Amino acid sequence: MRRVVVTGLGVISPLGNSVDEFWENIVNGKSGAATITKMDVSKFKTQFGCEVRNFVAEDYIDKKELKKYDLHTQYAIAASDTAIKDAGLDFSTVELEDRYDMGVIWATGNGGMGTFEDQLLEFHASNGVPRFSPFFIPKMIVDIAAGVISIRHKLHGPNYCTVSACASSNTAVISAFDTIKMGKAKLMIAGGSEAAIIYSALGGFGAAQALSKRNDAPEKASRPFDKDRDGFVMGEGAAALVLEDLDYAVARGATIYAEIVGGGMAADAYHLTGTPPDGMGAALGMRKALKEAEITPDKIDYVNAHATSTGLGDMSELNGIKTVFGDHPVAISATKSMTGHLLGAAGAIESIVSILAVKHDIIPGTINTETLDEATPEGLNIILGESVKQTVNYAVNNTFGFGGHTATSIFKKYTE
């Protein structure tokens, strides 16, 4: 089995469109939440979210090409291009035979849902006269971002999309890790993108009572583990990782951020949208990841919790963490308190947080949480408020999705 390392990162996010800006805002505890500006939400119960700001698609994509791509694909192109550049790669100079062993696994929970909504609204407005764009289907389908990235860089290796709701992009990272580890590729681009701040998603999640309604103070609305939390904050954006076979990365002189050593995927097989109160699914995924990494729970220094700021979900995960780690004082924090919930892209952007925590030995704090829920298990080391400087040799990234999907990845400080 081959060792797999991370050599490139890219983000398009509510906290910045470069890795440096994103990480600075994460470490400084900045909230990305504000009143939604891209559409009229005055009639909605929730009127805020974590929008991507200052994104200029033409900086990454030829203006003539833009009409072919839904916003989630535009975000995917931008994040993956940034990660590729960060990794010091120029695929135009890579031999075709090598590109046969380079691929893309890209995730999304909703794909081109915005395109679907726009086309149906236009169809309705035209009194049923079909005026659908010839790009409607390729803009909408969930696999298209993976395909576009591979076409853009002429990568002929494994190429597909993972869809497991809010666990989607962590599943993509784990799948890319597995692909390289088993010798089926030597380089993979993995990540996820989401552009679901649209009427139907805002209305749908709102109807499910999943969204916070703190319209008077959106920057304080995402408050994981807090006794007064009232739902998650919708986010959008993309995150990309370049994963490589260690030997290939070393041979080309790549800079290595961290090593990925474990990935656990499971199902709690419990409920359509809920998670079991005892955290069984979360515990199962973490245990599988630890087993693959061949380490014991006491080796883990940091857990980036999925923690969306929902009543049952937060406590279920903490119970799972308590089950796995027992009295080991592993540091826990929830960066969705700053980014909001990027849905299918959440796992990838939180993988980047975990990787940078390992690289810089900094554990980001959890903002907005003032009083822990009374149901919080005793003895947990939840980092509230400011970030903490602490050695991080191993970091765990948890993600969970509607349908009972569980995905846990483990990143390790790289040593030769």
> Residue 350 and residue 364: Cα distance in Å, rounded?
11
pLDDT tens across 323-350, in order? 999 999 999 999 999 999 999 999 999 9
Percent over 70 (pLDDT), the chain: 100
Residue of 50, 72, 161, 341 marked active site: 341
**360 catalytic per annotation:** no
pLDDT, mean of residues 219-227: 98
pLDDT, mean of residues 173-186: 98
pLDDT tens across 403-415, in order? 999 999 999 999 9
> pLDDT category, 265, cuts 50, 70, 90?
very high
184: phi then psi, degrees, rounded to nearest 5: -90, -5
Helix axes 144-153, 71-86, angle to 10 degrees: 40
Q: Mean pLDDT over all residues of the chain?
A: 97
Domain ranges of the chain: 4-251, 268-403
CA dist 237 → 13, 83, 322 (Å): 5, 14, 31
**271 catalytic per annotation:** no
pLDDT tens across 47-89, in order? 999 999 999 999 999 999 999 999 999 999 999 999 999 999 9
Tell me if 4-251 shares its fold with 268-403. Answer: yes
pLDDT for 416 equals: 83
Whole-model pTM? 0.97
> pLDDT category, 208, cuts 50, 70, 90?
very high
User: Hey, CA dihedral for 49, 54, 58, 59, is it positive or negative?
Assistant: negative
Residue of 72, 153, 306, 405 marked active site: 306
Residue of 166, 271, 360, 405 marked active site: 166
CATH class of segment(s) 268-403: alpha beta
HEC sequence for the chain? CCCEEEEEEEEEECCECCHHHHHHHHHCCCCCCEECCCCCCCCCCCCEEECCCCCCHHHCCCHHHHHHCCHHHHHHHHHHHHHHHHCCCCHHHCCHHHHCCEEEEEECCCCCHHHHHHHHHHHHHCCCCCCCCCCHHHHHCCCHHHHHHHHHHCCCCCEEEECECECHHHHHHHHHHHHHHCCCCCEEEEEEEECCCCHHHHHHHHHCCCECCCCCCHHHCCCCCECCCCCECEECEEEEEEEEEHHHHHHCCCCCCEEEEEEEEEECCCCCCCCCCCCHHHHHHHHHHHHHHCCCHHHCCEEECCCCCCHHHHHHHHHHHHHHHCCCCCEEECCHHHHCECHHHHHHHHHHHHHHHHHHCEECCECCCCCECCCCCCCCEECECCCEECCCCEEEEEEEECCCEEEEEEEECCCC
pLDDT for 75 equals: 98
Task: Flag whether pLDDT at 227 surpasses 90.
Answer: yes
- CATH superfamily to which 4-251 belongs: Thiolase/Chalcone synthase (3.40.47.10)
> Residue 380 and residue 265: Cα distance in Å, rounded?
24
**306 catalytic per annotation:** yes
